[in-house]
Structure 1
Amino acid sequence: MSTQPAPTTPSYSPGLEGVIAGASKISRVDPEKQVLTIRGYDATELARKAQFEEVAHLLVIGHLPSKSEYKTFVSGLKKHAQLPKELYAVLRALPKKTHPMDALRTGISFLSGYDAKVLDNSHDANVAKAIRLCGAVAPIVAAHWRIQHGKRPIPSNKKLSMAADFLSMLTGEMPDEITERVFNASLILYAEHGFNASTFACRVTASTLADIYGSIVAGIGTLKGPLHGGANEEAMKVMLKIKDPKHAEQYILDAIVRKEKLMGFGHRVYKKGDSRVPALKELGREYAASQGNMKWSEMAEIMENTMVREKGIYPNVDLPSAWIYYMMGIPIPLYTPIFAIARMSGWTAHVIEQHDNNRLIRPKSLYEGPEMLTYTPMADRG
């Protein structure tokens, strides 16, 4: 007699909500404890204490670096932050209205043509490509923005941290200590977050044994969507509509009546609040105080209190990042590309992990259409 269990019909979950789609050693999102860990380290502790480059090493290489490992890793990042002159020409050739995320996709695709090992999916080759991608992403974003606005690109400065370097390449000015520190923390909090939509897109693409560049392009395209990466841009637009903290509560109440979806609130995984929000809010308040302007912090607090009271919906990390970036003078259309800059280390880590232990990701669909229709010749269809 067979001891095999009887076959079961796979369950259907819209949006794959609650479905475990794979195993990973990269991060753990615990919605009950409201904790995000990256290879076992609390992400909020990393945000408060670490450099973004350390966390990128943790993700791509698999452990926090020693001093010598850190030096080598940063050297690799800085090497690839020097973009090929031909890439600048490509960015200049893009239509004036090209979205920064589309320019980034183009830039990453262009870099693949410069990689002699583009089709080599071995672990060591992928790590080398991951370092290249992590180094190049911020300069591509900054260069395209400046070109798009009639300014000359500013080369990467080997002496600066990635956080300070990006802000310097973007604005032409050196950020002060607190701006660099808070921006660095935001990059860490955006670096990795489990099987989110863009990361899963990277893994699905990688599972076909597509190269890492193609996989990352899939992630960038997915991140562009307003339900994922574009949320902080939309959140800031709402805050600009509100204008003054004293109008925030009524705006939220009216939006609830209109059944309007408010970006920066709610999360597919976290129901009791995004684990990354408290740390970024705290840093944001510190930054706002240093600038002598608590307006946006106070507005966000009122928005949060109203949403929690009325709907039981908590803010996600996109709400504090939106107003923090705005106070830093970062243009709103760059909020999602900054997300990509941070997430590049997480994306590449997932592609490496997928390639190292691959199985093609190929789920089933639940068919809900008609059955066994009879073909009618076109002449008889009227």
Structure 2
Amino acid sequence: MKEFEYADIANEVKELAQICKKNSKIDPELYSKYEVKRGLRDISGKAVLTGLTEISEIVSYTIVDSDLVPCEGKLYYQGVNVQDLVNGFIAEKRFGFEETVYLLLFGELPNKEQLENLNALLVKYREELPTSFVRDIIMKAPSRDMMNTLARSVLTLYSYDEKADDTSVENVLRQCLQLISLFPLLSVYGYQAYSHYHDGNSLFIHSPQPELSTAENILHILRPDSKFTHLEATILDLALVLHAEHGGGNNSTFTTHVVTSSGTDTYSAIAASLGSLKGPRHGGANIKVVKMFDDMKETIKDWEDEEAVREYLVDLLNKRRFDKAGLIYGMGHAVYSISDPRAEIFKGFVKNLSVEKGLEKEYALYNMVERLAPEVIAKERKIYKGVSANVDFYSGFVYRMLDLPIELYTPIFAIARIAGWSAHRIEEIINDGKIIRPGYKCVAKHKKYKTMEDRVAEEGNEDIRLA
């Protein structure tokens, strides 16, 4: 299609868009009138229950005399406190993501043999990605957005699967394990193709190494020289563990349940979840945090000047800085009030990495913003619950210190969260629930049908009135 044709279509669409805006706007007061829980949450942030799960639990409050009292946040995977899980594999100097995958999928911690068998299976599936797939699917149509590349790759894998539509637990588990193993390759190879064809950089396609963990393999296939430090791999592994799952109610995981409940295939369900995670309100939050801090560092001359930082945060909330959206990115969460346990776990390791990278001043600035932002938000805004740093506040900083390209920030999230999506898909299938179909109240007024002649006459009268 020629460029001038795009311009013609754009003008026509603009006119149609105005009709959409005119006729599709719903009076905000009607949501209160009909007690609609927008976002499936009430004004205090409490979620509408839509299902049951054993996969993970988020604890953000306790009940005292029938009242909800905010508490320090806790996160459990299959009943195991994530803090204890992390402490365990860190103390034993092991990588934890593969162990987390086992826990989420099978509901119990693996013994040594079970973990070795899972690792061997993931290695086997990584080696089964056809060379032709990389050449014909990833390399021939590189996209500027890696989440688009990842979703397209997942949907195309359907064509390579002789049992693509088999939704038995055994087959779905096999498909999910294959996708868990392949997500790092699909993501990084997609970036390498984009970097080469769009930015003119050298093309590197490294094969994964069977002796390396998921986190190590990501760094190995991404970097031209395949070199990385143990601390770098440890922190990337920790990021994968902390992003692997977060309750059934987050947007992408709920999408997994909704689409799975229709009886569709695994590739379609996971592609839908990827579409959800791609949204900047979900998976892209850490990118906003990084860009916000870039703007802050350019604006504030002395990063240790607490009053200057406070003033910048006030300006953010009043839409005078950065993207003028009125948000301090990385602060606040739909569920947590006092603290996000993932951010708390991450923080100590982030400090160690900042020392290794010589970025202590940047870490100190992050630390100051984390401390000041809740005070500024409480003063400038009417809030119904506490505000604290969420996991996105630090994850973007970590990825930058790891020299990960910003195009891979959200795919890294997906590489982790595919573990949780897989567990929830299998849980939905095993429990054979009904198709998920929430209600929407129609508030449109009934209108009498008009013939084409009446419509033309009415338009003529409208023109006369406007004249």
Q: When the two structures are superposed, what TM-score results if normalisation uses the length of structure 1? A: 0.93
CA contact (8 A) 2:169 2:430 kept: yes
Give the CA deviation at 1:257.
2.0
Name 1:345's counterpart in structure 2.
419
User: Following the alignment from structure 1 to structure 2, what is the Cα–Cα distance between the partners of residues 42 and 267?
Assistant: 20
Corresponding pairs, count = 371
- RMSD value, Cα: 1.6
User: Following the alignment from structure 1 to structure 2, what is the Cα–Cα distance between the partners of residues 272 and 365?
Assistant: 33
Match of 2:223, as an amino acid?
Answer: T
Q: Does 1:21 align with 2:50?
A: yes
Q: Does 1:98 align with 2:137?
A: no
Residues 321-348 of structure 1, C-alpha deviation per residue, up to 9 Å, x if partnerless?
0101111111112110000000010000
Q: Does 1:159 align with 2:211?
A: yes
Give the CA deviation at 1:69.
1.1
Report the secondary structure of 1:368's partner residue.
coil
Q: Does 1:186 align with 2:248?
A: no
Give the CA deviation at 1:181.
0.9
Name 1:7's counterpart in structure 2.
none
Give the CA deviation at 1:191.
0.3
Name 1:66's counterpart in structure 2.
111
Match of 1:340, as an amino acid?
Answer: A
CA contact (8 A) 2:328 2:373 kept: no
Q: Does 1:149 align with 2:163?
A: no
User: Following the alignment from structure 1 to structure 2, what is the Cα–Cα distance between the partners of residues 124 and 72?
Assistant: 16
Q: Does 1:335 align with 2:409?
A: yes
Q: Give me the identity figure in percent.
A: 30
Q: When the two structures are superposed, what TM-score results if normalisation uses the length of structure 2? A: 0.77
Q: Does 1:260 align with 2:260?
A: no
Name 2:351's counterpart in structure 1.
285
Bigger Rg over Cα: 2
Greater length-normalized contact order (CA 8 Å, ≥ 6 residues apart): 1
User: Following the alignment from structure 2 to structure 1, what is the Cα–Cα distance between the partners of residues 377 and 265?
Assistant: 44
Structure 1 stretch displaced more, 83-92 or 241-250: 241-250
CA contact (8 A) 1:123 1:352 kept: yes
User: Following the alignment from structure 1 to structure 2, what is the Cα–Cα distance between the partners of residues 248 and 180?
Assistant: 32
Q: Any unmatched runs of 5+ in structure 2?
A: 1-33, 42-46, 62-70, 90-95, 197-202, 320-324, 379-386, 460-467
1:112 to 148, 153, 158: 158
Q: Does 1:39 align with 2:84?
A: no
Match of 1:321, as an amino acid?
Answer: S
Q: Does 1:140 align with 2:186?
A: yes
Give the CA deviation at 1:379.
1.5
Match of 2:38, as an amino acid?
Answer: P
Report the secondary structure of 1:30's partner residue.
strand
2:280 to 219, 226, 230: 226
Name 1:4's counterpart in structure 2.
none
1:362 to 405, 421, 437: 437
Report the secondary structure of 2:341's partner residue.
coil
User: Following the alignment from structure 1 to structure 2, what is the Cα–Cα distance between the partners of residues 228 and 74?
Assistant: 29
User: Following the alignment from structure 2 to structure 1, what is the Cα–Cα distance between the partners of residues 158 and 114?
Assistant: 26
Segments ≥4 residues shifted beyond 6 Å: none
Report the secondary structure of 1:314's partner residue.
coil
